[in-house]
Amino acid sequence: MEQEKRDDESGAFKRISEYSKKGNALMRQGRLEEARIVFERAYQIDDLNPYILVGLGDVYRKQRQFEKSTDYYLKILANEPTNTFALKGLGHSYVAMGRLEDAVSVWEKYVGLNEFDYYILTGLADTYKKLKSYEKAERYYLRSMEINNGDKYIFLGLGDLYYKMGREDEAIYYCDKLLEIDENFINILTMVGNIHKRKGDFVKARAYYRRALRIDTTNSFALYGLGDAWRGDRDYQKAKAAWLRLLRDEPRNNNVLSRMGDIYLREGQEDQAKYYYHKILARTNHKWARMGLSKIYRGQGEYDKAIRNYKTILESSEDLDERVTAELDATLREKELAESGTT
C-alpha cells in the first residue's frame, strides 16, 4: 500500500511538472487560453502547488482578469509569504487594477528578497511617481540604475520624474540619455522641446520638435510647439505655417486658433484676426479669444462690445481675474473719455 501511494504521488508530481512546463511554454507563445486550460488540469490534481498557482495567476493577469489573478497569488502567499513569483505578479496585478498603495507594499517586500531585479525596482519607482511620492521614486530609479546603467526605461522614468519635480536640467540630461538609445519617444522629444521653449532657447526647442516631426509629421504637440518657438523668435510667418499644418488635422484646436488670431492682430490684419476668434467663440466661451476680440473693438471705438466681452469672461470665471478686471476698468475709462470728448 505504501509503495502504491508513493507511486501515485510520483505519478501526480510528474503530471503536474509536465503540465507546468507545457502551460508556461504556451504562455510564452501567447496562447493564453490553451495555457489556462493546461494549468487548470494541473490545479485539479494539486490545488496548492505554487508553480501551478503562479501559472494561473500569470495567465489570468495576461488575460487582464486581475481579480482572478490576485486570488491565485494570494493563495500562494497565504502558505508562502516570501514567494517572490507571487509577490512580483501580485504587484503587477495591483498596478493594473489601480491599487497603487497595495502594489508598492507588495513590491517593497519583493525587493527586500530580490534587491537586484531592476525591472521591479523601476516598476516600484514608476508607481511611487504615480502616487506623487517623488523622493521615493527617485530613490528606486537610482537603485535600479546602479544595477543597469543603460536601461532606457530607467532614463525615461527619471526624465519624466525630474520634469514633474521642476528639476529641468536633470530632466533634459536623462531624456537625452534615453534618446541616444531610442529616439522614437515622441512625447519625450516634445517634452524636452517644451522645457527649452520655456527657458527661452527657441533654437534648441525647434530642434527637438523637428526630431519629433521626422517620426510623425502630423504630431499636434510638436507642431504647436514649433509654431510657438517661431513666435518666440518673432518669426510670425513660420509660426503661422506650422500652426496651419496642425489645423489641417485639428480644425477645432482652440489654442491654435487663438494664437493665429493673435498673430494676425499683431500684424494689423484685424478682419483675419476676427475670423479666427469668431471660429472659437461660435462653439465655446474662450477667454483668450474674447480678450483678443475686445482689443480689436477697443481700437475701433466699439467700447460696449469690448465691455460685454470682459464681463462675460468675469461672469464665467470662479476666481477674480485681475488682468480682465484691469482691462475692463481701462475700457470703461476709454469710453468715458471718448464720450466726454464728443459732448
Q: Which band of pLDDT confidence, cut at 50, 70 and 90, is reported for residue 138?
A: very high
pLDDT, position 139: 98
Rg (CA), the chain: 30
What H or E segment, with its residue span, contains residue 292?
helix 287-299
pLDDT at 125 over 50: yes
Q: Residue 5 above 60 pLDDT?
A: no
With CA atoms as reference, report the closest residue to 226 among 216, 214, 213, 215.
213
pLDDT, residue 316, reads 87
CATH of domain 253-343: 1.25.40.10
Sequence-distant (≥ 6) Cβ neighbours of residue 251 within 8 angstroms? none
pLDDT per position as a tens digit, 144-201: 999 999 999 999 999 999 999 999 999 999 999 999 999 999 999 999 999 999 999 9
First-residue to last-residue Cα distance in the chain = 121
What does the pLDDT read at residue 250?
96
The pLDDT of residue 31: 96
pLDDT category at 340 given cuts 50, 70, 90 is confident
Round to whole Å and give the CA distance between 254 and 260: 10
Distance CA 17, CA 328 (A): 79
CB of 313 within 8 A of CB of 290?
yes
Residue 8 in grid coordinates: 501515485
Q: Cβ of 213: how many Cβ atoms within 10 Å?
A: 20
Give the tens place of pLDDT for each residue, 84-104.
999 999 999 999 999 999 999
| pLDDT, the chain, mean | 94
Which fold is adopted by the domain 8-114? 1.25.40
Q: Do domains 8-114 and 253-343 have the same CATH topology?
A: yes
How confident is residue 14, by pLDDT bands cut at 50, 70 and 90? confident
C-alpha of 248 from chain center? 25
Encode pLDDT of 29-45 as tens digits.
999 999 999 999 999 99
The rounded percent of the chain whose pLDDT value lies above 90 is 92
Residues 226-257 have pLDDT tens digits of 999 999 999 999 999 999 999 999 999 999 99
Instruction: Give the single-character DSSP code of 27.
Output: H
3-state secondary structure of 233: coil
- What residue spans define the domains of the chain? 8-114, 253-343
320 confidence band (pLDDT: 50, 70, 90): confident
* Cα–Cα distance for residue pair 297/306, rounded to 1 Å: 6
Residue 333 grid coordinates: 475709462
Greater confidence (14 vs 100) lies with 100
Q: Which amino acid is at 187?
A: N
Contact 269, 276 (CB under 8 A): no
